[in-house]
Amino acid sequence: MRMKNPVKRLLATLTQGVYVVGVGQGGLRDAFTASAVMQVSIRPPMLALAVNPANASFPLLVESGVFAVTALRHDQCAIADFFGTHSARDENKLAAVPWHAAPSGAPVLDEGVSFFDCRVVAQHPAGDHVVFLAEMTGGDFLQGHARPLRYDEVGNMDGSDELLPWHLGGQGDGSEEGR
Amino acid sequence: MRMKNPVKRLLATLTQGVYVVGVGQGGLRDAFTASAVMQVSIRPPMLALAVNPANASFPLLVESGVFAVTALRHDQCAIADFFGTHSARDENKLAAVPWHAAPSGAPVLDEGVSFFDCRVVAQHPAGDHVVFLAEMTGGDFLQGHARPLRYDEVGNMDGSDELLPWHLGGQGDGSEEGR
């Protein structure tokens, strides 16, 4: 992908996936695209998720204390874009795609590689985001044979090419276009 | 890679990289392999790193409050294995590879895709690991044109195939071998 910002190009060498995070239970549900998801504990299995508190889904995530992560397939760039850019709470994004409720009640997309049902155990500020630490209470394969989508394949979806600083101590111009 | 544990196979659908994390300053330095590294904040740029507190490098990381992440190339599986399995503190692992000190003093491998120099701002318990939140104070490309190594390419390096529970609520047998 084309990135002008050298700090963005450097950060793109961190290997991250692309996920739709479903939040809410009962009548009020929402979902948004995230790339900051990883496993942080083995026993018990726990994930970390970083979320911008300005995200329209943030209050629902904090109030419900649960979320479900759908790992997107390599061919679901359009889904990543849709859930990444349509962020107004009053728009029912989930009406546009088939989904079902995980055991926690949080929404999971029917299509994807896999899903992880999670219960928040802690939240901590981290710069302009909040990091949620969550126990994995369930999960399963969806289309588990498919290759997951990588963050470096989706371009400048989150606008960070413009938001990131352009220089850091020791930060050079770097290679042409990364990988 | 071959994984017997269905929960491990499911977690392998999360997209993570493979890194050598260098810690320490001055005379006492060490390094270890990690897969739990991701960007969590844009302004300022911040990374999260999950570390097992039983890791021999853990006290050095806590005391110095700095670390440097080297993102490994796709052809550096042997390096990942070396820094993942040789964990005795009294063994000078860094003598085996060319490295240099980042501006923080933490060691960076000369060979890799890129590096990130980091200053810890918080640490939080997360199950059997501790999550460090750190500001990225510097970094640069090493061999920035190379493809980064993915965690699903390195096999059962961390032994989590044996450590993870084999069943979770809603956890099915899953697909044959993942991707």
Reported ipTM? 0.91
- Predicted local distance difference test score (pLDDT) of residue B128: 96
- 3-class DSSP assignment, residue A153: helix
Would you call A94 exposed, middle or buried from its count of C-beta atoms within 10 A (0-12, 13-18, 19+)? middle
Q: Show the domain range for A89.
A: 17-149
Is residue B174 in some structural domain?
no
Mutation site, B39, B142, B152, B179, interface A, largest A CB count within 10 A: B39
Is residue B167 in some structural domain?
no
Residue A100, pLDDT > 70, answer: yes
- Predicted local distance difference test score (pLDDT) of residue A88: 55
Identity of the residue numbered B71: A
Is residue A66 in some structural domain?
yes
Cross-chain Cβ contact A140/B164 below 8 Å: no
Is residue B9 in some structural domain?
no
Average pLDDT, chain B: 89
Average pLDDT, chain A: 89
pTM of the predicted model as reported, rounded to 2 decimal places: 0.91
Cross-chain Cβ contact A170/B144 below 8 Å: no
- Predicted local distance difference test score (pLDDT) of residue B53: 96
Is residue B3 in some structural domain?
no
Asked if A33 contacts A157 with a C-beta cutoff of 8 angstroms, the reply is yes
- Distance, CA of B57 to CA of B52 (rounded, Å): 9
Is residue B101 in some structural domain?
yes
Asked if B128 contacts A133 with a C-beta cutoff of 8 angstroms, the reply is no
- Identify the CATH number of the domain in which residue A91 sits: 2.30.110.10
The beta-carbon neighbor of B131 closest among A48, A143, A148 is A48
- The H or E element spanning position A136 is strand A129-141
- Predicted local distance difference test score (pLDDT) of residue B2: 64
- Predicted local distance difference test score (pLDDT) of residue B18: 98
Is residue A179 in some structural domain?
no
Q: What is the pLDDT of residues A109-131, one digit of tens each?
A: 999 999 999 999 999 999 999 99
Q: What is the pLDDT of residues B34-67, one digit of tens each?
A: 999 999 999 999 999 999 999 989 999 999 999 9
Is residue B56 in some structural domain?
yes
Number of domains in chain B: 1
